[in-house]
Chain A
Amino acid sequence: MSKRSIFLLLSVALLSAACARFKKASEPTAAPVSIHTPTAAAPAPIATANPTPDFSTMTFVEKNNLYLQLLSDRQAEGADTTAAEEAYARSLDATLDGNAGEADQYLQQAILLLWK
């Protein structure tokens, strides 16, 4: 085989390789796979918590009644309600001081301390 033939073969080989690479680069790539694909080992979904009450739509009587009901329920369950009752006492003091914002804030805090 002459040097010329070897040179021609090498040129054809290089050209073929270049064409193959160019073709591969021009093909559309697959969409990325979502990383959220569930697997068998994935943890069980967390149970959603009971949504807290929307205080902005409640009157004082509604909030007060909710507190009284929750207090009764938690005490029937034997739960310690001291923190909630302290918050309610602070709400009462703020009420008698005429501090509406603080009174409502402490009342809502008392409810949330009893909320499940």
Chain B
Amino acid sequence: MKNKLSIILSIAASLALIGATVFAPQSALAQSGDGTGYLTASGDGLAGIRGQGNIRISGNGVLMIRDLAGDASIQVTGNGQRTVLPGGWIRYVGFQGEATVSGNKVTVALSGYDIHLEASGSGKFVLRGNGTYQTGHLSGSWTEGPEVHLLP
């Protein structure tokens, strides 16, 4: 009787473990590992990334940067009209140049054309429009819809 109870409990525990693994959020799986990923992307449309790490982005259009942690290092070179918007956004209209941003909770996006993005760290990114990208473990094309990818 005691043996049967042990077997039943073992089976139940195994099923719970399998279920937790199978139905766990994908982000938890994708963010396992050393926590640092790499991304390069080029294209036209909208490139946006949110998270922690180092981001270098160049191109033409409207550049938007937000530092929610307040610890970011932001360097912008080139042309563009800088304005601080409500919500903590810094945006450059008529941007033509390059921005390098490092921080623990930053969002960087460039909307326009001839966009080139390089990033290392962790977080998520979206690439809408026409172009290609590569990370450490996958590569693909920019999409029409807002498909969010995790880094790493």
Contact = CB atoms under 8 A, between A and B. Distances in A.
Interface string A52-75: 000000011100100110011001
Contacts, number: 73
Interface residues of A, number: 24
Contacts of A72: 93-94
Interface in B85-131: 85-87, 89, 91, 93-94, 107, 109, 111-112, 124-126, 128-130
A96 B124 contact: yes
B44 A61 contact: yes
A103 interface: yes
The dominant DSSP class at the A interface is helix
B146 A85 contact: no
Contacts of A94: 146
Interface residues of B, number: 31
B92 to A, nearest CB: 11
Contacts of B50: 96
A82 interface: yes
A71 B62 contact: yes
B85 A85 contact: yes
A89 interface: yes
19 contacts: A60-B144, A61-B45, A61-B144, A64-B128, A68-B62, A68-B111, A72-B94, A85-B85, A86-B85, A88-B62, A89-B87, A92-B107, A95-B48, A95-B126, A95-B148, A96-B48, A96-B146, A98-B147, A103-B146
Interface of A: 59-61, 64, 67-68, 71-72, 75, 82, 85-86, 88-89, 92-100, 103
Interface of B: 44-46, 48, 50, 61-62, 64, 81, 85-87, 89, 91, 93-94, 107, 109, 111-112, 124-126, 128-130, 144-148
